[in-house]
Structures are given as C-alpha cells and as structure tokens.
Amino acid sequence: MSETIPETPATILFVDDEANILSSLKRLFRPFGYRIFTAEGGAQGLEILARESVDLVVSDMRMPEMNGAQFLEKVRQQWPETVRILLTGYAEIGATIDAINKGQIYRYVSKPWEDNDITLTVRQALQQKMLEREKQRLEALTHRQNEELKDLNTHLEEKVLDRTRALNETMQSLDVAYEKLKKSFITSVRVFSNLIEMRNPSKSGHSRRVAELARTLAQKMDMTAAEVQDVFIAGLLLDVGKIGLPDRLLDRSFNTLSFDERSEVVKYPVKGERALMALEQLQGAAKLIRSHREHFDGSGYPEHLSGLSIPLGARILAVAEDYDTAMMGSSYAKPLKPEQAQLLIQDGKSRRYDPSVLDAFLSELCKVSAAAENSSELTLRSGQVIPGMVLSRDLMTGSGDILLAKEHVLDERIIEQIRGFERMEDHPLTLHVHISK
C-alpha cells in the first residue's frame, strides 16, 4: 500500500535589505497561499532557516555584510534540500555566476522582475522540489518494501522448510502406521487361517505353506505387489468355504465322492468368495479363492474355466496347494516325498496346471534344493537358542498349532515368550534352526 503525504502549504523565505521589496514580494505571493517569511539580511535569514522548515529561498544579491551569493552558499551547505533563487541586476553578472557556482542556485531572476515570471519560476521550483521529494519518498518506500519482501521470502523459505519437515515427519508417521496396520491385517488373516485349520487339525500349517509357496511363485512371475499380496492372503484362506462342510467330506478325495457329495463340495470355492467379498481388502483374494479349483483344460469347478480365463493367481494357488497336499498326505493317500510330489504335479501339466506356472514352480524347487545342499539345521531346546537364529521349520505346539512360522528370525523378546509358553504349558518345545555348512 502506497503512503501519502498530507498537503501543506509551501514555505518561502524572502531575503532583501530593502523593506519595500520585501513588502512587494509578500503582496505578490500571499494570494497563492504560501507560508511567507522575510529577512532583511543574510544573518537574519539563517536564523529563520534554523528554526523553520523552509522549502524555497529568494535572496537579493546586493546586501551589506553578506551578499546573496555568500548567503545562498551557506544555505546550500546547511539545508541542501531548500530551493535557492537569486534576485540580481544586469550589472551583477560576475556575482551571479559566483552564486550559481557556490550557491548552486535553481535560477536567477533579473530585477526589476515581471510578476508573472517570478511567480511562475517559484511555482516551477516548488513543483520540482515536490517531485524530487516524492521521488525520494517512493525510492525509500520501494527500498523498504524490497527489504520487507526479502525478509518475507526468507521467512517464507523457513516456513516452507518447516512445513516440508513437518509433512515429511507426518508422512513417515503415516508410513509407520500403515506398516503396522498392514502387519496387523496380515496377522489377523493368519489367525483366521489358524482358526479355519482347527476345523481339520490334520491340515495344520497347510494354508501357511501354500500361501508362502504361492507368494514366491507370484513374485517369480512378475505380478505386482498388490497382486502378490492377494495371492498370499488367498493361500491363507483357501479353505474358508469348507467351514460349513460336514466332517465326513473334509479329507476325502473328490474322485471318491458320490454325485450328491460332489455337488456339495464344488460349492465351497464360491462360498469362500462370498464370505470374504464384504471386506474390500479381501475382494481380490476372494476372486482367486473362487477359481483355484479350476483346471487348465476346463475340467475343474465351479465354472469349468480353462486356460488364461482362469486368473493367474488362481492358477498359481492350484499348483501350490496340490504340491503341499501331496507331501502332507490325507486319509486316502500316504504323504509323498518332495521328489514324488514334484512328479505328481508334473503329470498334470496342461491338464490340471498352467505350463508357465509349472515351469516357475520347477525352477523354484531347483533353487530351494540348491539352498538346502548348502545349509543344514540344528534341533535345539529354547534354552539353547540365541538371538539371530532363523527357524528352519514351523515351531509347533504339542497340539499341532503353529507358534512361529518357518524362516522367523528369533530375538530376545521372542525367545523369552517361547520360554514363558513352555512354563505355562509345562511342556518343552523343540526348535529347528538353520546352520551354514
């Protein structure tokens, strides 16, 4: 916002040793509304200047004791912003030049003067002074505003840095909160998966192993992080639709079922999808659960999908589940060794399983086998383990429940919790940990 200066009448000082000239000048300029002071000599003029703010001085050249040139020189030295005009006769050219040089006068007016000329000269001089004063004011204002702007920019940068720092801290807090929420969500799914397996204790640990193998295959096949998580969650909850099945159907081969029993069993993938669809975070996994019993050749259920019309995650889950089921065994079949289970899965290529998924599966088994050749395991009690050891197998309770998953890294807190569990159950636990060869 620009500043304004209140309009005040200009102040003029007339200096002349002749009283009649001073009176004439006062009469001439009074109608213009100026504040007018008069002095009958240079010394008196200096006294007035010392106590009054004077905008313009009109001085006669020829005065006793101190002539006009000398007087105006002193005015220039002490009050340089005061405009200086000299009244002089034609015969005083030398003194006038001296006044121009030493007093740096604005203009000189010849005597006798023309009223219009002198009034116009004074008005122009005051206007120029006003313009110079306004120019100085605007320059000062501009300088001050520039300094304020510079200060504002400095503070603005500080504020931006502070806000950015605060925003980064907030984002970090949100990231931490999100990770905690994500871990809590996965933990809840794991707990729910364990509850499902309690319906059929013989399958303890099955869903977790399926989920981990399926997640590894999904990553190997370049699925996105969100898709990989859906595959993992679907693996944990594959059997959620079986909760309502009678016990007699839980562990029987599909080929041994009657027509009515098959009609009941083939509904469980759809029931599993329906059970989870209400939760937005589980909708992706739910769709995979619906299709994980489809066969690549179209002979599966519930919709007889075939080929690439079956979601990739569901094709991966089919391989992972059947492989773990084969090694785990069931009431109608003995557990198979890994090599035997691998051959069984290979026999289903292009019929039961997607060839590309099967290739990724076989590649992963080779990598696991190579890693196994370079490592071994120790069997320890809780009192023998130390922080940093990694479980090579699931840590199971005496009743078959999973306490910790394979590959869990032990720390002091977990080890103390294991020992506390042993004291509470009055039963020692066996821990299997990796050792490097």
Give the C-alpha separation, 261 to 259, whole Å: 5
Determine contact, residues 13/22, Cβ cutoff 8 Å: no
Q: Is the pLDDT of residue 329 over 60?
A: yes
pLDDT tens string 93-149: 666 666 676 657 788 888 888 999 899 999 998 998 888 888 888 988 988 888 888
Determine contact, residues 39/13, Cβ cutoff 8 Å: yes
pLDDT tens string 218-254: 999 999 999 999 999 998 888 888 887 777 777 677 7
Determine contact, residues 370/352, Cβ cutoff 8 Å: no
pTM for this prediction? 0.53
Q: Is the pLDDT of residue 82 over 50?
A: yes
pLDDT tens string 390-415: 888 878 776 666 778 777 889 999 99
37 beta partners:
13
CATH top-level class for 203-373? mainly alpha
Q: According to the model, what pLDDT value does residue 198 have? A: 65
Q: According to the model, what pLDDT value does residue 35 have? A: 93
Q: According to the model, what pLDDT value does residue 388 have? A: 86
Q: Is the pLDDT of residue 44 over 90?
A: yes
Average pLDDT over residues 338-346: 89
Q: Is the pLDDT of residue 212 over 80?
A: yes
CA atoms within 13 A on the CB side of 155: 6
Q: According to the model, what pLDDT value does residue 75 have? A: 92
Q: How many residues does the chain have?
A: 437
Q: According to the model, what pLDDT value does residue 258 have? A: 81
Give the C-alpha separation, 78 to 51, whole Å: 13
Q: According to the model, what pLDDT value does residue 112 have? A: 86
CATH of domain 11-139: 3.40.50.2300
Q: In CATH, what is the architecture of 375-437?
A: Alpha-Beta Complex (3.90)
Q: According to the model, what pLDDT value does residue 107 have? A: 81
Q: According to the model, what pLDDT value does residue 160 have? A: 81
CA atoms within 13 A on the CB side of 210: 34
Between 5 and 311, the more confident residue is: 311
Name the band, by pLDDT with cuts 50, 70 and 90, for residue 150: confident
Give the C-alpha separation, 436 to 257, whole Å: 47
Give the C-alpha separation, 336 to 37, whole Å: 123
Average pLDDT over residues 270-286: 87
Query: Phi and psi of 113, rounded to 5°?
Result: -90, 160
Per domain, the residue ranges of the chain are 11-139, 203-373, 375-437
